[in-house]
A and B are shown apart, each in its own frame.
Chain A
Amino acid sequence: TQLLEQSPQFLSIQEGENLTVYCNSSSVFSSLQWYRQEPGEGPVLLVTVVTGGEVKKLKRLTFQFGDARKDSSLHITAAQPGDTGLYLCAGARPTGNQFYFGTGTSLTVIP
């Protein structure tokens, strides 16, 4: 069992639709990051959230850190084919030097 569980695992939607990806844990994290990975490449950082309840926006992407710092969500408005990819959350525990990655959500946006 992994520390961070993401849902859904796979998501296929039409261009223009909205979607939300969830990242959940029973553990508290001091910070949480979201990465996006394209086929054949390594993940690339989208955002870092560090305060419980924090909301950050990156164009059509909205990221929220749960009040208790145990979960996070990524909402995409009016999805575009260029949003297609694997979305990964990653969290840092309050102690230690490890980053734990979530199980990943594979998003396909159909034109």
Chain B
Amino acid sequence: DAGITQSPRHKVTETGTPVTLRCHQTENHRYMYWYRQDPGHGLRLIHYSYGVKDTDKGEVSDGYSVSRSKTEDFLLTLESATSSQTSVYFCATGQGALDTEAFFGQGTRLTVV
């Protein structure tokens, strides 16, 4: 199994506060992804990275920013959390894009009150 660690695993925060979620990998995979999972929507891509300092937007990027200063770390920041951002967030990594396997972390459950 790819070593992917998400932190924190659970977080409750107040509306309007900034929140940063961290994804750390030990597999030296080039690609890293942040998804959110909501009932009835499967997984929706927020942002992804194809290398250090190389990032791009996904389907639902509004209200989120990312940074990747090292191969192993990919940070997701909610600049000002809203209740609509209450969700389970998954980080994934892959050696290549597209048809190679994506390895997922265990998820972070974020509740915005």
Interface residue ranges, A against B (CB under 8 Å): 2, 4, 6, 9, 30-31, 33, 40-45, 48, 50, 88, 90, 92, 97-104
Contact = CB atoms under 8 A, between A and B. Distances in A.
Nearest to A32: B99
Interface in B58-86: 58-59
Interface size class of B (residues with CB under 8 A): 20 to 34
A104 B42 CA distance: 5
B58 A88 contact: no
Contacts of A97: 31, 48, 50, 56, 97-98
Nearest to B97: A97
B42 A42 contact: no
Contacts of A103: 40-42
Nearest to A87: B42
A78 B100 CA distance: 29
Nearest to A5: B42
A99 B59 contact: no
Given A30-B99, A100-B59, A42 B90 contact: yes
A99 B33 contact: yes
B19 interface: no
A39 B102 CA distance: 18
A65 to B, nearest CB: 11
A103 B31 CA distance: 23
Given A50-B99, A92-B98, A97-B50, A102 B42 contact: yes
A43 B35 CA distance: 11
A88 B106 contact: no
Given A2-B42, A98-B48, A101-B42, A92 B97 contact: yes
Contacts of B44: 2, 101
Contact of A45 (B50, B58, B102, B106): B102
